[in-house]
Structure 1
Amino acid sequence: MPWCTLVVIFLVYMYMCVRCNSSSAQNSQCPEQFCNCSKRQVSCEKHGHHLPFIPPIPKDTLVLKFTGNFLPLISQETFRNVTSARLKELVLGGNGIQNITSDAFEVFPRLTFLDLSGNQFPVSILRESFYGLRHSSLKKLFLIQMALPDLPLDMFEYLQNVSTLQGISLNYNNISNLVGSVFSKIRGLRNLGLNNNSITNVDFGGTHLEVVRLRWNKLTTVPRFCDNARKPLAPRLRVLDLGHNLISQINRHNFCGSCLPRLRNLTLDGNLFHKVPNNTFSDLPSLVRLSIKYLRSFDITFETTCFNSSSMRLLYIANHMSMFDSKSRTDYKNIFRYCRGLNVLDMTRIRLTTYDGVMLYELLHHLTNLTKLVLQSTLVLTLPENLFSRMPFLGSLHLDHCYLSQWKLGVFRNVASVKTLYLDHNEIAIINQTSFPAELLRGLKQLSLGYNPYLCTCDMVWFREWTGNNTKVMLNWPYAYKCKSPREWATKLFSDFSLSYSYCHPLSPYVIAAISTAAGVVLIVIVVGLFYHYRWHIKYFFYLMRARKRGYEPLPGGDDDFIYDVFVAYHSDDRVWVISELIPCLERKEKLRLCLHDRDFEVGKLIVDNITEKINSSRKVLLLLSNNFIQNRWCKFEMAMVHARNVEEDRSDIVVVILENIRTQNMSNSLHVLLKTTNFLEWSNKKSAKELFWKRLVASVKPESCQ
């Protein structure tokens, strides 16, 4: 072969390689103008008439979602840009499809899921379109919201050899009759969805179905599951949903075990019947889950053995009814006696109000195998003691939205198995160390206590410390936890709440006395200690004797309208400070006339008269505030008299001195107002602070003519 021929062949080969690589690169690109691509999935959605074709997609695409666009005709030509992709899932919902050729889907032999929902065209065209799927690997077929009427008997004739097809969804159509023979040709079909149709008649004959969902239809009676010869029409049926139909009555003959030998999951929610008769489900040998929620009646009766079942493990009976009402015909003491194997019980919204918890105990004490108990929104005001301790496997307990405010110590005793506890949206104000046993708290994985009206006082300090160390356990922390009172903490996050240990644990006077007494070991030390402890009382006694003999010396430049310069309101326990600090400074040094109740009140006159007369005879009033002062009724009377005189006579002659920190529980509204409207001085033992204190106090009480 001449060398020139070899060169030509080589050049042609190189050209073809470049061409192929270019084409491959082009096919691997995502049509970003119309679509989003990620992990072998392409989504081209909601372009309407602006996208009347399927653009080229990467070859490795497995899922194509082409919805909300415009494809009136589906044929093999429609898929010319995507035939190289080995699609397994194809979604063509809402594309205004009017026609599909019979061979359109033959280009996708590996297709396992097809969704034609939201397109409305004749049933005959839909039937013919299945011809292209006769050799496919289809597993699921969605035909939702397509305005489909009753289906012809040969609707799925072309799919009878597709052994992989297991599920068909026909939700939201106009089907009124479920005819089993329509689906009997699809031998692999196990799951059929017919929710939200207008079905009034059901015939299961010839089907191999395991899951049937007939929710939101117009059934007035429970369908027949046996033929006239008592042979089961759907012997493989495991899951049956008849919720939200118009069924007005049920009984044990509707659910025979020989007709439904494998039924495990039965849903009857939202129907019209108001009574569940005795032994309605007792003949179902495989029943595990039963749901009878939100029946359209407020006068619901559960007869004594209505839940009789040895196999049932999950029971959902959330309804708007009262269990303990005197008019109720439900035998609450025994309705759970015959289903002791229950693991899950949901009684949401059933009114379970009881003021001593006895009836609630009688209702639930048979259920010793529960792992989950839901009592949400049941208005349980009182929890019985020793109920939950009878449930050693209880792992999840829902007591939210129940108006609970407190519970007895024995309610959660020996309940270490609970891992999830919901107590949110109640009326719980205080949680302390006795609210939950330590073994319960140690085992909790989730605790919900949000949206309660917490009283943020010293009683909540322990809970605040516990939550700080267990934030991972607390659900909705911290935004769902807020203080409601007192005023200084209202609306603030509980996570910001903080009170010091010393504030909440003040040293008791008895402890101080015990320490002082213990210090005296020797009699002489005791005598010296007592003399030292009462030295100011002794000095005060001699001072009174001397003052009564000497009387007052008039101040130069004083105002003769007042007998005293300052009326001193103080508690007897604070007289030591008056004698040792106040009198030496104001009387001896500044020559002011002080009125002291121990010294200047007239003997034999009523205390009220003494207080009133002496206050009116004084130019200024000095309030020496302490915790003892605030708690004493006569001291509070003096404070009220002074405040009233200031308001009535529009005067501002009150001088307030705070001798110690005032505890929150002693802070009354009137005292709060006084401190807000009056400048006050705070006593301190520091030398530098003392000098400033006396300078300001003297300036506040001394007559202007003497300053």
Structure 2
Amino acid sequence: MTSGYIMIAIIFWISSQLVESFILNRFTKPTCNITSEKADCSNRSLVNISSLNLAHDIKILDLSENNFTNVTDTFFKPISELNITELFLKRCHIQYISPKAFALIPNISRIDLSFNNLSLNAMKEGLKGLNGSSIEHLDISNIITSKEPQTLPEDTLLSLHNTNITNLRMRSWNINKVIKNTFQNLSCLQALDLSVNKIHALEMEGLPEIRQLNLTWNKMTSLPKMCDSQNVSLVPKLNNLSLAINHLLDSQEFQKQGHCLPNLYYLNVSFNLMDRIKSDSFSTLKKLGILSIGNMLTYDLVIEEGALNSKTLEMLYLGSYKRVSKDTFNPKTLFKKCTQLTRLEMSKFDFSDLSIVNFHVMISPLKNLSELILRHNKLNNVPETSNFPNLSFLDLEGSTIRHVHRDSFQNNSHLEKIILRLNHLTTIRQDTFTDEIWKNPKLFIDISYNPYACDCDLEWFIKWAYKRGIIVENDDYQCDSPKKWKTTRLDIHIQSLKTSCHPVNKVFITLLTIFSFMFIFLFGLMLAWKLRWDNKYYLHKWTDGRRSAYQKIIDNELKEYDGFVAYNTRDRKWIMSELVEAMEKKEHYKLCLHERNFLPSCAHVDNILESIEASRKFILVLSNNFMEDQWCNYETIIANHKLADGNGDRVFLILLGKISSKHFTIALKTLLKSVENAEWTLNVKGRKLFWNKLKRFMK
């Protein structure tokens, strides 16, 4: 009796395990999204990673937005056998990391620990596990919860001395000062991000390899000392420096320390407190290529004579909310000594008081310009750009321009992108730009949000825009006049413009009447051609319904595939979206496609021959792409052999498009005359006929 109860209990337990396993497999969603070498396990409410069962090829693991309060010694043991190189632990509420935790993933090269709740001591202890690892990129932004601004302790990163870290992010640490040698143990450090802090003092000792330094959004009032006491550069390799959104006051500090920045290429000092860009401020920066000095936090910005002098400057970004007056800058000399500029962005100036002549004089020295961006500048006229033969991009968005004329573009054959949105244009005519510009096949024009007069002058541009595929069929293009069309979309009046702008000529009507009979026959032929698919469809339905009772025996020979499809890979989109969708997913035939079913270990010739033999039917998808492919020509020859062997009823041709006459070989002509074929068309009835033919062939 007891053994019977035990047996029942065992059976019940096994049954419950099977049911539980079925429910888990059937209804439980996978923990992670796997794509290639990455596992995205973010936002899964995980408290540890013991439940993860990751493949051995996973290298990137995203565990962000989970609940890992404590990262213990063995936290990473479930993934210790994997070659994890990138780990994301962003916003995981982490308060503690064991000094031994990261030692279990020694091949790690990138870690993101940003937006956690670590104290300074907890972070220093946790980073000890990275000592001797392969770490190169470390993001520890927004993790220190100090309420008061603090000096960054010199030993903060001491535990990383035996690493090759090249990229370090420490945003939002509430730091107000960085003392010398804080980073000296990071001998390979090349990129340092200390943005969004409150730094007012920064000592640069210990950063000999630094190339990128981001100090955006701090409280720097002056440029840090970039040379030592011997006047030798502390940062000889620095080429990218961002000091935007600080409290910098004197632009001439860059001139004084230019020799300390021998390789500086990019400099951003926008949104500072400089009210004057002084003469020769950047002239000693011998490799300066990109400079951004826009939108100073002072209203009365003055740019002194020679302030922009630079023999190397290639890209310049200027911005201001100030009305340009004679005190702002001298337009005759502003760009006189930065002639290497290829891109100028000068936005949010008020040029309404600057004459078009003076504006032209201002930019005329910039002979090498390829991009000119003048957004929201209250320009009343298009500046003449004939002096810029390399100009390819012109942006005049948000000004007050009412007219554009080709005289401004006499030497701009390379101009291919023009932005004139948010202006006061009422029309665009053929004489707006030169014929050379209009004929540029790459030309793109954005003239949206202008108050258009929807009249005959605008008709030419509408036609041109449609022909070039430029979208004018939305609310970005509206009529401002006539009154009855105000605020209506421009494109809905195209037919009305055609009618009103081109009244029918009585002579034309007379001539049309006289010669109309001459075209009746031609019209009939054209109509027959246009309706050919309708005619073929109804003829097919009629003949199909009157078939004799005799039918050829359906080929039910057992094969691995129902049909082998020969096609060129450039026609893949049609194969997958039309043929596979209809014949496999809807009709449940099994097709053999070389991209999907060929064995990689076999020679291509063997794959072709074996796949054809393993298929009941042989379908060739003919196109110009097909006929230009040597393997497709080989498959055409095989089809001819099938025809010669008396198996022509197993071959079917699909004409995917109009085939060039140069491809009509004897082999192709023989096939077209001898085997069943169907032509793909966009006509609805033509498609029905196409699928009916193919389905009947596949039976």
Q: Which bin holds the TM-score, normalised by the shorter protein? A: 0.5 to 0.7
Report the equivalent of 2:13.
Answer: none
Which residue of 2 is the match for residue 480 of structure 1? 476
d(CA) in 1 for partners of 2:104 and 2:27? 21
Picking from 435, 440, 456, the partner of 2:437 is 440
How does 1:451-490 map onto structure 2 within 5 Å? 451-471=449-469, 474=470, 478-490=474-486
Residue 240 in structure 1 maps to residue 241 in structure 2: yes
- Match status 1:498 vs 2:495: yes
- 1:670 aligned residue: none
Partners in 1 of 2:27 and 2:111 — Cα distance?
Answer: 22
AA of the residue aligned to 1:101: S
SS in 2 for 1:362: helix
Question: What is residue 531 of structure 2 aligned with on the other side?
Answer: none
The answer to whether the Cα contact below 8 Å between 1:369 and 1:391 also exists between their aligned partners in 2 is yes
* CA positional deviation for 1:229: 2.1
Q: What is the Cα deviation at residue 508 of structure 1?
A: 9.9
Partners of 1:292 and 1:416 in 2: how far apart?
A: 31
Residue 395 of structure 2 aligns with which residue? Answer: 398
**TM-superposed deviation, 1:53:** 4.5
Deviates further, 242-251 or 174-183? 174-183
Q: Deviations over 1:194-225 (max 9, x none)?
A: 00011010110121211100000011112111
- Name the CA shift for 1:87/1:141 in 2 (closer, same or farther; >3 Å): same
CA drift of 1:433 comes to 1.3
- 1:475 Cα offset (Å): 6.2
Q: 1:72 to 1:343 in 2, by over 3 A?
A: same
CA contact (8 A) 1:168 1:192 kept: yes
Counterpart in the other structure of 1:80: 77
Equivalent residue number for residue 334 of structure 1: 333
* Residues 438-476 of structure 1, C-alpha deviations (whole Å, 9 max, x = no match): 1112224321111111111111111111111011xx367
2:39 & 2:109 partners in 1: Cα distance? 16
Task: Map residues 214-613 of structure 1 onto 2, 5 A cutoff.
Answer: 214-252=215-253, 255-323=256-324, 325-326=325-326, 328-354=327-353, 357-384=356-383, 387-443=384-440, 444-471=442-469, 474=470, 478-496=474-492, 497-499=494-496, 503-505=500-502
Q: C-alpha deviations, 1:360-409, integer Å up to 9, x for none?
A: 1121111111111110100100224xx31100111111011112111344
Q: Is the 8 A contact 1:356 1:382 kept in 2?
A: no
Matching residue of 1:46: 43
Shift in CA distance, 476/313, structure 1 to aligned 2, threshold 3 Å: farther
RMSD: 2.6
Amino acid at match of 2:219: K
Q: TM-score, normalised by structure 2?
A: 0.65
Q: What is the correspondence of 1:655-694 to structure 2 with a 5 Å cutoff?
A: none
Task: Select which of 115, 118, 127 maps to 1:118.
Answer: 115
Conserved? CA contact 1:92–1:115, under 8 Å: yes
User: Given residue 410 of structure 2, which amino acid in structure 1 is its aligned partner?
Assistant: R
- 1:72-95 per-position Cα deviation (integer Å, ceiling 9, x unaligned): 211232123222322111111222
Structure 2 letter corresponding to 1:216:
W
8 Å CA contact 1:180, 1:206 repeated in 2: yes
| C-alpha displacement of 1:488 | 4.0
Contact 1:427–1:453 (CA under 8 A) maintained in structure 2: yes
Q: 1:508, 1:92 → 2: CA distance? A: 76
Q: Tell me the distance in 2 between the aligned counterparts of 1:342 and 1:142.
A: 36
Equivalent-residue separation in structure 2 for 1:376 and 1:383 (angstroms) = 12
For 2:196 and 2:430, locate their aligned partners in 1 and report how far apart those are by CA, in whole Å.
Answer: 52
How far 1:134 sits from its partner (Å)?
1.8
2:405 and 2:433 in contact (8 A); partners too: no
* Structure-2 separation of matches of 1:479 and 1:318: 30
Aligned length: 477
Q: Identify the residue that residue 187 of structure 2 maps to in structure 1.
A: 187
Partners in 1 of 2:504 and 2:157 — Cα distance?
Answer: 87
**1:478 Cα deviation from its structure 2 partner:** 4.2
The Cα shift of 1:345 comes to: 0.7
3-state SS of 2:344 partner: strand
**TM-fit CA distance, 1:135:** 2.3
**TM-score under structure 1 length normalisation:** 0.64
CA contact (8 A) 1:29 1:57 kept: no
Corresponding residue SS for 1:176: strand
Match of 2:97 in 1: 100
Q: State which drifts further: 222-231 or 146-155.
A: 146-155
**Deviation sequence 1:656-684 (CA, Å, 0-9, x none):** xxxxxxxxxxxxxxxxxxxxxxxxxxxxx
CA distance in 2, matches of 1:227, 1:481: 60
Paired with 2:222 and 2:497, the residues of 1 have a C-alpha distance of: 67
Q: Contact between 2:254 and 2:282, CA under 8 Å: does it hold in 1?
A: no
Which structure has the bigger radius of gyration?
A: 1
Q: Is the 8 A contact 2:472 2:490 kept in 1?
A: no
**Contact residue 216 and residue 243 of structure 1 kept, 8 A:** yes
Q: Secondary structure at the match of 2:152?
A: coil
One-letter amino acid of the counterpart of residue 450, structure 1? S
SS of the equivalent of 2:192 reads: strand
Percent identical across equivalent pairs?
A: 25
Paired residue for 1:176? 176
Question: 2:397·2:423 contact (CA, 8 Å) conserved in 1?
Answer: yes
Aligned partners of 2:297, 2:27: CA distance in 1, in Å? 52
Given that 2:166 and 2:189 are in contact with CA atoms closer than 8 Å, whether structure 1 keeps it comes out as: yes
Cα distance in structure 2, aligned partners of 1:47 and 1:96: 14
Structure 1 residue 150: Cα displacement: 3.5
Query: Which amino acid is the alignment partner of residue 399 of structure 2?
Result: C
> Which residues of 2 match residues 190-201 of structure 1 at below 5 A?
190-201=190-201
Distance 1:207 1:475 in 2: 52
Q: Deviations over 1:543-596 (max 9, x none)?
A: xxxxxxxxxxxxxxxxxxxxxxxxxxxxxxxxxxxxxxxxxxxxxxxxxxxxxx
Query: Residue 58 in 1 paired to residue 54 in 2?
Result: yes
Task: Summarize the Cα distance change of 1:477–1:287 in structure 2 as closer, same or farther, 3 Å threshold.
Answer: farther
- Contact 2:115 2:141 (C-alpha < 8 Å) held by counterparts: yes
C-alpha separation in 2, matches of 1:91 and 1:30: 28
SS at 1:105 equivalent = helix
CA gap of 1:475–1:265, structure 2 versus 1, over 3 A, is farther
Counterpart secondary structure, 2:121: helix
CA distance in 1, matches of 2:216, 2:416: 34
Stretch moving more, 69-78 or 187-196: 69-78
1:47 Cα deviation after fit: 4.6
Preserved CA contact (<8 Å) 1:71 1:95: yes
Q: 1:506 to 1:125 in 2, by over 3 A?
A: closer
Contact 1:354 1:381 in 2 (8 A): no
Helix, strand or coil at the partner of 1:411:
helix
Matches within 5 A, 1:617-696: none
- Judged with a 3 Å threshold, the aligned counterparts in structure 2 of structure 1 residues 81 and 405 are, in CA distance, closer, same or farther, namely same
Give the C-alpha shift of residue 354 in structure 1.
4.9
Secondary structure of residue in 2 paired with 1:317 = strand
- Aligned residue identity for 1:393: N
Cα displacement (A) at 1:504: 1.9
Matched residues in 1 for 2:241 and 2:395: separation?
Answer: 27
- Residues 410 and 78 from structure 1, CA distance in 2 versus in 1: closer, same or farther, beyond 3 angstroms? same
Distance 2:428 2:92 in 1: 59
The residue identity in structure 1 corresponding to 2:454 is: C
Secondary structure, in 3 states, of the residue corresponding to 2:127? helix
Distance 1:406 1:162 in 2: 62
Note the residue ranges of structure 1 that are not aligned, 5 or more in a row. 1-27, 513-707
CA contact (8 A) 1:447 1:475 kept: no
Is the contact made by 2:392 and 2:414 (CA closer than 8 Å) also made in structure 1? yes
